[in-house]
Amino acid sequence: MIAKLLVVYLGLPAITAGAELNHRAAANPIRKVVTMLQMMQKKVEAEGAKETELFDKYMCYCKSSGGALAKSVADAKVKMPSVAADIDEAESKKVQLAEDVKQAQIDRDAAKSAIAEATGIREKDAAAFAAEKADSEVNLKAIAAAIVALEKGMSGSFLQSTSAASLRKIVVASQHLLDADRDDVLAFLSQKTGYAPQSGEIVGILKQMHETMSKALAEAIAAEKAANKGYEELMSAKTKEIDALTAAIEDKTVRIGEIGVQIVEMKEDLSDTELALMGDSKFLSDLEKNCATKEKEWAVVCKTRAEELSALADTIKLLNDDDALDLFKKTLPTPAASFLQMQVTASEVRSRALGFVRSIRQKRKAGRFQLDLISMALAGKKVSFDKVVKMIDEMVTLLKKEQVEDNHKKEYCTIQFDSLDDKKKGLERSISDLGAAISDAEGAIATLTTEIKALETGIVALDKAVAEATEQRKEEHADYKELMASDAAAKELLGLAKNRLNQFYNPKLHKPAPKRELSEEERITVNMGGTLAPTNAPGGIAGTGVEVFAQVAAHSQHRVAPPPPPEAVGAYQTKSEESTGVISMIDLLVKDLDKEMTEAEVTEKDAQADYEAMMKDSAEKRIADSKALEDKSATKADVEAKLLKLQEDQASTTKSLHATLKVIVQLHVECDWLLQYFDVRKEARADEIDSLLKAKAVLSGADYSLLQMTARSLRGHT
């Protein structure tokens, strides 16, 4: 045992000078052995302290990491059901919100329908009220005028006026008179030969009728105000309801989106937690197994170290004993020929160098054929140290070359990882930007599609409106021409009627018919005593020659015939006084026709101007809309082309990203092992070089060890 320890730990620097050999020969061999054993003892204890510190750190890691992992696993097992429950709750809430939004939309549509229906009814009632109010006000005004006229004693002139005819219509249609009162008023207005009430009685009836109608009008106005107020209150309530429902729809729609995002995040969290749980569980299992293995290995290491220290202590004690020292003094040879000094021979050098080489082989799991060659060379009986030194130099050169290659490889891997990571991040940003650009382009296309459709619909509607306006303008112009022709004919006919009345009642105002203008041929015939051919009877209305468009006649067929005049009784009497009133009425009618024709001309002019302005505006709008449609269609085509290019770029970039990720995976396969064990390999390689240099140093001192071979040979012969 001691001999083997001496052989192993004689790995001191090679003897390279004669003075060192002389010093070692003069030293006490036992003391040197004891000193070496003590050094070994200290080294083993130092290694033990270092390994104990490392083991304690490892066990601390086992406890801390194991506890953290166990807590992480427990937390994950608790978290997963909770997250799953949260997902179910969020999905249920999302479904409920969707149903609430749907119901709110239905309720809002119902409220809008109620508003539309109420608005239609209100407009209809308001129109009916306006018409009724206008009629009532006209009737009240007519009744008031009749009362004033009758109170002033103007019954005769009143009965000849148009107001009497209007009052007759009011009385006939009124629902506020008793039948007897209605008959009295009608009898008064008709002035029949039978009983006719006096104007005083009629005034009383009319005043009562005016009061009743005024009261009814006031009640109708109050009812209209109440209906308007109720309508406004309904509109306010429904508007508030619609606003509230709209706000609820918007709020719940936003919440649906937020809950959707939360559900996705929770599902991703659940998936990540499941993966983390699997990874932590496996890592915890491996950690427990490895820690248990390390504890067993540590027990063996501690036992072996204790045995080694015990052996060293026992050996030191044995060699340091006083009796042992006395014995060694008597038995051991002189220092000049001691056994230890004689071991510094070629065999010793070879053995020590071989020990260094084998120590390298023991540290390496995989061998090197160069080390095997060096070991075989040193183990041979006949060895050339120069050759072995050369092999060691080549081995050291190879190790340094490998270290340089590892350094270059590490630098390459680091640069590649950084470069590929930057490229990956750049591609991911590009994909994100392209995705945003694609979303913008798709939104723009959707917007342009809607705008194009709106423009196309608007152009169709504009064309339809132009066609309808043109047709309406034609009809209005035809009606205007028909009205002007009818009014002109009516004026001419009224003029003839007035002239005919003047011929009878006012001969001075009568205008004789214009003489017939003879043609040159007719004048020759008359001058020669001939007779002119009879002329055709004038046609037109009542043989007056006044004619109107067929449309007028057609319209007259549909007008309501006035009621027949009251039947006259008794002998005819000339009504000079009445004729004056009739002529005045004719003059009024002519003025009304003139006014109507003037208004019709202004209306026709304004309508034509409005139509021309509308046509101009419509043409400009159609040109603008067509240009906008063309521009938007071109823009849409450009955006679609851009979208296609963006999609192609996104696909290409995604492909590049996948290729980059694949390269990164391959680089990990190529570099991870080197980067992980770079320092270990570097340290091991440095140890190999150090051991090889020590072996070389031992071999380089082999020539000096041959000085002891003579002493060993002499001792062998004695």
The label of the residue with tokens 């508030």 reads 240
Q: Binning pLDDT at 50, 70 and 90, where does residue 523 land?
A: low
Does 386 or 107 have the greater pLDDT score?
A: 107
Residue 571, both tokens: 């002998």
Q: What is the pLDDT of residue 351?
A: 65
**What's the rounded mean pLDDT across residues 166-186?**
75
Residues near 170 by beta carbon (within 8 Å), at least 6 away in sequence: 139, 142, 143
Counted residue by residue, the chain has a size of 718
> What value does the mean pLDDT of the chain take?
75
Given a cut of 70, is residue 542 above it in pLDDT?
no
Given a cut of 50, is residue 342 above it in pLDDT?
no
Q: What is the pLDDT of residue 316?
A: 79
SS3 633: helix
For 586-611, what is each residue's pLDDT tens digit? 777 778 888 888 988 898 888 888 88
Give first-to-last CA distance, the chain, whole Å: 28
Q: What is the pLDDT of residue 197?
A: 56
Weakest mean pLDDT among 141-150, 268-277, 495-504: 495-504
Given a cut of 70, is residue 669 above it in pLDDT?
yes
Given a cut of 80, is residue 422 above it in pLDDT?
yes
Cβ(355)–Cβ(349) below 8 Å: no
**What's the rounded mean pLDDT across residues 642-663?**
87
Total Cβ atoms within 10 A of residue 314? 10
SS3 467: helix
**What's the rounded mean pLDDT across residues 555-565?**
37
Cβ(137)–Cβ(217) below 8 Å: yes
**What's the rounded mean pLDDT across residues 333-347?**
47
576-700 vs 385-505: helix crossing angle, rounded to 10: 180
For 612-635, what is each residue's pLDDT tens digit? 888 888 888 889 888 888 888 888
The domains of the chain, with CATH numbers, are: 32-317 (1.10.287.950)
Closest CA to 294 of 460, 118, 58, 469: 58
Cβ(361)–Cβ(371) below 8 Å: yes
Closest CA to 144 of 215, 211, 219, 221: 211
User: How many Å apart are CA 238 and CA 232, to the nearest integer?
Assistant: 10
User: How many Å apart are CA 294 and CA 306, to the nearest integer?
Assistant: 18
Amino acid at 610: D
Cβ(53)–Cβ(318) below 8 Å: no
User: How many Å apart are CA 652 and CA 650, to the nearest integer?
Assistant: 5
Cβ(706)–Cβ(448) below 8 Å: no
To the nearest 10°, the Cα dihedral for 611, 612, 615, 617?
-110
Closest CA to 668 of 417, 426, 428: 417
Does 20 or 652 have the greater pLDDT score?
A: 652
Closest CA to 248 of 111, 447, 443: 111
For every residue of 352-395, which 3-state class applies, written as one string? Answer: HHHHHHHHHHHHCCCCCHHHHHHHHHHHCCCCCHHHHHHHHHHH
Cβ(420)–Cβ(667) below 8 Å: yes
Q: What is the pLDDT of residue 200?
A: 72
Residues near 345 by beta carbon (within 8 Å), at least 6 away in sequence: 705, 706, 708, 709, 712
Residue 479, both tokens: 């009606």
User: How many Å apart are CA 298 and CA 291, to the nearest integer?
Assistant: 10
Phi-psi region of 279 (alpha: psi -120 to 50; beta: other; left: phi over 0): alpha
User: Could you please report the per-residue DSSP string of 282-313?
Assistant: HHHHHHHHHHHHHHHHHHHHHHHHHHHHHHHH
User: How many Å apart are CA 573 and CA 575, to the nearest integer?
Assistant: 6
**What's the rounded mean pLDDT across residues 667-678?**
84
Q: Which residues of 675-693 are buried (b: 16+ CB within 10 A; e: fewer)?
A: eeebeeeeeebeebbebbe
Q: What is the pLDDT of residue 25?
A: 39
Cβ(272)–Cβ(64) below 8 Å: no
Q: What is the pLDDT of residue 386?
A: 72
Percent of the chain whose pLDDT exceeds 70: 70
For 429-482, what is each residue's pLDDT tens digit? 999 998 999 999 889 899 989 989 898 898 898 888 888 889 888 998 999 888
Cβ(266)–Cβ(85) below 8 Å: no
Residue 177, both tokens: 């008179």
Q: What is the pLDDT of residue 121?
A: 92
Cβ(490)–Cβ(593) below 8 Å: yes
Does 10 or 392 have the greater pLDDT score?
A: 392
User: How many Å apart are CA 66 and CA 86, to the nearest integer?
Assistant: 30
Q: What is the pLDDT of residue 336?
A: 44
For 568-591, what is each residue's pLDDT tens digit? 333 334 444 544 666 677 777 778
Q: What is the pLDDT of residue 582?
A: 63
Q: What is the pLDDT of residue 243?
A: 92
Cβ(112)–Cβ(245) below 8 Å: no
Residue 626, both tokens: 């067509």
Cβ(475)–Cβ(529) below 8 Å: no
User: How many Å apart are CA 714 and CA 338, to the nearest integer?
Assistant: 12
Given a cut of 60, is residue 11 above it in pLDDT?
no
Closest CA to 469 of 618, 273, 678: 618
Does 103 or 145 have the greater pLDDT score?
A: 103
Q: What is the pLDDT of residue 92?
A: 92
Upper half-sphere CA count for residue 242 (Cβ side, 13 Å): 14
Does 162 or 370 have the greater pLDDT score?
A: 162
Q: What is the DSSP letter of 560?
A: P
Cβ(548)–Cβ(489) below 8 Å: yes
Q: What is the pLDDT of residue 652?
A: 87
User: How many Å apart are CA 108 and CA 276, to the nearest integer?
Assistant: 48
Given a cut of 60, is residue 712 above it in pLDDT?
no
**What's the rounded mean pLDDT across residues 169-198?**
68
- Alpha-carbon distances of 462 from 349, 450, 453, 629, rounded to whole Å: 114, 18, 14, 14
Q: What is the pLDDT of residue 543?
A: 53
Query: How far out from the chain centre does Cα 508 lie?
Result: 94
Cβ(9)–Cβ(33) below 8 Å: no
Given a cut of 50, is residue 553 above it in pLDDT?
no
- Taken in order 480, 482, 484, 487, the sign of the CA dihedral is negative
Q: Binning pLDDT at 50, 70 and 90, where does residue 382 land?
A: low
pTM over 0.75: no
Given a cut of 60, is residue 714 above it in pLDDT?
no
